Amino acid sequence: MRGTPFQLQVWRALLRVPAGALITYGRLSAAVGLPQAARAVGSAVGANPIAFIIPCHRVIRGTGVLGNYRWDPLRKCAMIGWEAAARPRGIAAEELLPVASGF
């Protein structure tokens, strides 16, 4: 896996977002210690060369919009839906959202 140190840091943080959970670019940037770098985090997320292994599909905009996806926005939507359907019953998505301090 090759990337800049910053990209690798973002991709490692993505690996800690559990299946069925979503995280915003802002929360992800805070999780890597750069809360004002949401755009740079977005660029690192978009540069992820192995999408399903490093789950960049779990990152959404702060407004709740799914946003773009390098491998097709419909695929992103399907992957999010598949993971949500596989989530154990009784667990709200909010309970799965990682908190910045948890990274």
Which residues lie across from 20 on neighbouring strands?
A: none
The answer to whether residue 56 is catalytic is yes
CA–CA separation, 90 vs 93, rounded Å? Answer: 10
Of the residues 22, 37, 56, 79, only one is catalytic, namely: 56
33 φψ region: left (φ > 0), alpha (ψ -120 to 50), beta (else): left
| Residue entry with tokens 């990209």 | 7
Which residues lie across from 23 on neighbouring strands?
A: 59
| 3-state secondary structure at position 23 | strand
Catalytic residue IDs: 56
